[in-house]
A = this chain, B = another copy of it.
Amino acid sequence: MNYVKLDIKDGIGTVEFFTEQSNSLPGEILKKLADTITEAGNNPDVKVIVLKSGGNRTFCAGASFDELIAIDSPAKGKEFFMGFANVINAMRKAPKFIIGRLQGKAVGGGIGLAASVDYCFATKHTAIKLSELALGIGPFVVGPAIERKMGLSAMSQMGINPDEFYDPKWAHQKGLFGKLYDDVASLDKAVNELANKLAAYNPDAMAELKKVFWEGTDHWDELLAERAETSGRLVLSEFTRNFIQKFKKK
């Protein structure tokens, strides 16, 4: 059963999402995810936010293929991709630090989520793949978030090689991940440790620092909407139709 939930304890607001398709994201879950992040950002009991997903394997497989294949107009296409834009913008605007907790692979839009947290912990199983171009679209909505964290070169290397899984050490070296852990137990220990520390720091200082981290991104409401429009148009291409049909037959 797909879900998004928020647990608040000791000043730490943990946002967890889950879907039965390797945590790939349909529009409904994207909307709940954006809303839940905004809610945690506004709740005075929450001093720091942790973003995680359910299950022991994939952190997030990106966009839901079932929804991509169902898109039949540019307007519906834009609407779907706005789901990712809204999650990224919610993370950007939440006046609190967000810690990412990645137990395993992140693909496509999943990398966009990882890039939009303020500090990301991952395991040594967290390979990443920016698969969009192989589907006939591109990492348009998530591109700015990935470039901001990893730089233009890393973002474009991944974007141009949509079949390749980049290993977690590379993602760490490029700045997507702050720390890598051998297993989920040590990952959770590290996440809790930092979350507890941050929950006790000066909230005013953290709110100001969050603004500094995101300085120069005020135009992302418009930018990501334009990007969603581009993806929403390209997803209607024959190329995309054929790719998804082939994939689903596997």
Contacts and interface: CB of A to CB of B under 8 A. Distances in A.
Interface of A: 97, 118-119, 132-134, 136-140, 143, 148-154, 156-157, 159-163, 173-176, 178, 194, 197-198, 201-202, 204-206, 208-209, 212-213, 227, 230, 234, 237, 239-240
A33 B230 CA distance: 32
28 contacts: A119-B156, A132-B205, A133-B201, A136-B202, A137-B202, A138-B206, A138-B208, A139-B209, A140-B208, A149-B152, A149-B153, A153-B174, A153-B175, A153-B176, A153-B178, A157-B175, A157-B178, A159-B212, A160-B198, A161-B178, A161-B194, A162-B201, A173-B173, A201-B239, A202-B240, A204-B237, A208-B230, A208-B234
A197 B163 contact: yes
Given A119-B156, A133-B205, 6 more contacts: A136-B202, A151-B175, A152-B175, A156-B213, A201-B239, A202-B234
| Residue picked from A136, A137, A212, A234, most chain B C-beta under 10 Å | A212
A119 B159 CA distance: 10
A213 B140 contact: no
A112 to B, nearest CB: 14
B194 A159 contact: no
A239 B205 contact: yes
A40 to B, nearest CB: 17
Nearest to A173: B173
Contact of A150 (B149, B153, B227, B237): B153
B148 A152 contact: yes
A213 B136 CA distance: 17
A213 B155 CA distance: 9
A137 B239 contact: no
Contact of A143 (B153, B160, B212): B212
Nearest to A115: B153
A156 B202 contact: no
Contacts of A136: 201-202, 205
A138 B237 contact: no
A205 B227 CA distance: 12
A203 B59 CA distance: 30
A123 B183 CA distance: 34
A202 B152 contact: no
Contacts of A118: 156, 160
A115 to B, nearest CB: 9
